[in-house]
């Protein structure tokens, strides 16, 4: 490689910083940059018109390059998925057949084809109906000694807190044991094709199990903590309160229309289910079932009122207890059941379905319309492997027609542990709730978006777990200020896998279809 002034690519060397002029490595990089760009422009094939590059660009690129060690290079190649196999567990195949000719042979052949496609599905999917308990890897451990003694009033408030939480927990447990579980067993053993467990879940969603589970865990912790003092009670509640958030937002979304569905179910199945004491062991009425399932949504506001009263009666509140208390209130306020007046302009999801651009800067005009048919399919928070700045957390919003990528550009969010932005957004979008404390919500900006039909997602294993690559197959790549064709992310959220994201992308492609179709699952 010629690196002196006799090279026709020497203009790139002239644009190196003075400190790099004597470096043969930097010279070689500059020359290589300009040489390869020149070759690509002259032999671009079917690539779109490429921007003209000159020696200034090549030299600046060589100046900006960072020297890496061999392990660093190897780890980066693995993070980017450049040297290991990729996989995808779900994809869409469109099969088009024509029965309009009227030929019996053609119709029979088409029917044979249909039978080979797989099992016909009535419903594409509803992620809210799938049982998805969040893993809880913490336990409450009581202190070795009890140095703080509570007054009689504080102790009475603690007992009230325990009683209220216990009543909600027992109500859910008894409904499961004495009605829902026997009902599910009966349906699973039934040979009646009109009654399936999937249809039953649309009436009695598995989120009932989720909120029962987290209530039982909290109840056990509160029982232990209540034997000591208010500090331990508030600490125990703060430890498990964040796990209530996702379970309860999913439950709220599921019980929309519960009253109507329950009464329709009761009218159709009163004699064989509701009046059958082998299934309905506690002889629940529809009103009693409704009070447990929907009434559970009132638990968090009630607990907040009691915990606020408890806090007001504590004379010397330690800094640690204050932090635990703030965690509890923050989670409950984020749920959106607080009775405070909220400015309607602070909603991010209006009744007509229009998402407000105040959510993030650089909002694309293309996504300001079409909200009558657009559906929110999934929201994930991922770590961007190729981030250009210190802000490496992106929120991926999967719609039925587009994929939107928001970058979290808020220093406080990266330094403080709190609720995930993706969980809060899912709650706001699906349950049409205002954002909690809108003015302090993490700042975000739109960095890229794409039509769902142009997206292919693959998963691969890297140095620190599982990664995904989001590839745009269109001619111009992602719609963004800096065009690119692929984005790589590390999955850091427990219970979320690359396969989950790939399946949602696949299902979104089906949702985006504008013509009626028969759906089959292989």
Residues 265-298: tens digit of each pLDDT: 899 888 888 898 999 999 999 999 999 999 898 8
CA angle 66, 68, 74 (to 5 degrees): 130
Distance, C-alpha 25 to centroid of its chain: 45
Q: What is the pLDDT of residue 521?
A: 65
Spatial contact of 204 and 183, defined as CB atoms under 8 Å apart: yes
Ordered domains of the chain (ranges, CATH): 10-67 (no CATH), 125-335 (1.20.900.10), 344-521 (2.30.29.30)
Contacts of 431 (CB under 8 A, 6+ apart): 249, 252, 253, 336
* pLDDT tens sequence across 132-177: 566 677 888 888 877 678 889 999 999 999 999 999 999 999 999 9
Task: Please give the mean pLDDT across all residues of the chain.
Answer: 82
Of the candidate ranges 106-120, 213-227, 388-402, the one whose mean pLDDT is the lowest? 106-120
pLDDT beyond 50 at 471: yes
Q: How confident is the model at residue 121 (pLDDT cuts 50, 70, 90)?
A: low
Nearest-angstrom CA–CA distance, 13 and 28? 8
Partners of 383 in beta bridges: 393, 490
The per-residue b/e assignment along 92-114, b for 16 or more CB within 10 angstroms, e otherwise, is eeeeeeeeeeeeeeeeeeeeeee
% of the chain surpassing 90 pLDDT: 33
CA angle 256, 259, 260 (to 5 degrees): 95
Q: Is the Cα torsion angle 433, 436, 439, 444 positive or negative in sign?
A: negative
Q: How confident is the model at residue 205 (pLDDT cuts 50, 70, 90)?
A: confident
Length of the chain: 522
Q: 412: which 2 tokens?
A: 């406080």
Partners of 451 in beta bridges: 402
Q: What is the pLDDT of residue 457?
A: 95
Q: How confident is the model at residue 339 (pLDDT cuts 50, 70, 90)?
A: very low
Q: How confident is the model at residue 400 (pLDDT cuts 50, 70, 90)?
A: confident
Q: What is the pLDDT of residue 496?
A: 87
Spatial contact of 202 and 257, defined as CB atoms under 8 Å apart: no
Taking the whole predicted model, whether its pTM rises above 0.75 is answered as no
Torsions phi, psi for 252 (to 5 deg): -60, -40
Nearest-angstrom CA–CA distance, 160 and 126? 38
């Amino acid at each position: 490689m010629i690196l002196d002034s006799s090279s026709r690519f020497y203009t790139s060397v002239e644009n190196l910083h003075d400190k790099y002029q004597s470096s043969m490595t930097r010279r070689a990089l500059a020359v290589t940059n300009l040489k390869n760009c020149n070759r690509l422009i002259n032999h671009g094939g079917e690539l779109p018109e490429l921007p003209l590059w000159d020696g200034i660009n090549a030299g600046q690129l060589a100046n900006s390059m960072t020297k890496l060690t061999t392990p660093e290079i190897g780890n980066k190649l693995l993070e980017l998925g450049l040297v290991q196999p990729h996989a995808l567990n779900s994809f869409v195949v469109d099969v088009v057949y024509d029965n309009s000719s009227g030929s019996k042979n053609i119709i029979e052949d088409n029917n044979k084809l249909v039978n080979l496609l797989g099992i016909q599905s009535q419903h594409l999917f509803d992620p809210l109906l799938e049982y998805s308990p969040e893993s809880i890897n913490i336990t409450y451990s009581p202190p070795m000694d009890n140095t703080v003694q509570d007054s009689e009033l504080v102790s009475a408030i603690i007992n009230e807190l325990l009683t209220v939480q216990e009543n909600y927990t027992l109500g859910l447990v008894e409904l499961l044991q004495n009605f829902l579980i026997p009902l599910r067993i009966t349906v699973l053993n039934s040979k009646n094709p009109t009654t399936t467990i999937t249809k039953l879940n649309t009436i009695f969603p598995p989120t009932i199990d989720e909120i029962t589970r987290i209530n039982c865990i909290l109840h056990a912790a509160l029982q232990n903590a209540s034997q000591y003092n208010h500090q331990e009670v508030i600490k125990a509640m703060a430890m498990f309160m964040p796990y209530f958030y996702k379970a309860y937002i999913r439950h709220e979304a599921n019980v929309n229309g519960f009253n109507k569905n329950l009464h329709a179910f009761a009218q159709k199945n009163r004699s064989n289910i509701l009046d059958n004491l082998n299934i309905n062991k506690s002889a629940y009425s529809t009103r009693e079932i409704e009070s447990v399932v929907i009434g559970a949504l009132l638990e968090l506001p009630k607990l907040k009122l009691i915990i606020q009263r408890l806090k007001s009666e504590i004379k010397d509140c330690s800094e640690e207890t204050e932090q635990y208390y703030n965690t509890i209130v923050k989670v409950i306020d984020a749920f959106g059941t607080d009775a405070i007046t909220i400015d309607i302009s602070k909603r991010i999801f209006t009744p007509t379905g229009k998402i407000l651009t105040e959510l993030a800067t650089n909002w694309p005009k293309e996504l300001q319309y079409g909200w009558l048919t657009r559906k929110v399919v999934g929201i994930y928070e991922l770590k961007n492997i190729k981030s250009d700045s210190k802000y490496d957390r992106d929120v991926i919003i999967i719609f039925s027609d587009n994929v939107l990528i928001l970058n979290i550009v808020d220093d406080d969010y990266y330094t403080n542990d709190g609720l995930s932005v993706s969980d809060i957004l899912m709650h706001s979008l699906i349950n049409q709730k205002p954002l909690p404390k809108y003015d302090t919500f993490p700042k975000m900006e739109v960095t890229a978006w794409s039509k769902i039909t142009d997206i292919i997602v693959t998963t691969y294993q890297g140095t620190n777990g599982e990664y995904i690559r989001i590839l745009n197959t269109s001619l111009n790549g992602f719609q963004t200020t800096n065009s690119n064709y692929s984005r790589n992310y590390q999955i850091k959220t427990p219970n979320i896998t690359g396969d989950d994201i790939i399946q949602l992308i696949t299902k979104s492609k089906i949702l985006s279809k504008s013509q009626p179709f028969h759906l089959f699952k292989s």
